[in-house]
Structure 1
Amino acid sequence: MQLYVRITPRSKKFRITLVKLPDGSEEVRINITEEPEKGKGNAELVKQLSRITCGNVMIIRGATSRKKLLEIDGDEQQILEAIRKAACH
């Protein structure tokens, strides 16, 4: 499945937040602890999301941007449920 996420680097801890948008959809926002340089932030994002979703995670678009398009291997419903469980509300 493909998933758009918004990243905030240099946070105190790794955290996933789901934010309701005015159109009724949800945006996945992820705080990462690493700096956004030399791929450190992207590596943390891929590692943590792979652990949470139990699937292979690849960055398809946005490797140098805060908005990223990810490809996550696995069942879409299971992936979304895992992200919701890991999210801080």
Structure 2
Amino acid sequence: MTVPEIPAGTRVSLRPGEWASHMGQLGTIYMDVRVVKVGDMEGVPGWVWLLVHMPECHWESVACAREWCVKVAVWIPALYDAVNR
């Protein structure tokens, strides 16, 4: 499956079961993120890495200075759905 091209800054709302942590545990909560970069997961067909910021990273009180702050794995069909919701 093709890795989708998603512009940096795109807001994506991921549902439980559509994403996984770096340890391979399926997410059990809704997660709103702003995409920094989409990357291929070598050897894991149908999944991509998302490097993201959380919405609160733009709050003045947080002011996240990192390039990205969270890395999650996302099932590609679910990512297409999330972008088009």
TM score, norm. by length of structure 2: 0.28
Structure holding more helix per residue = 1
TM score, norm. by length of structure 1: 0.27
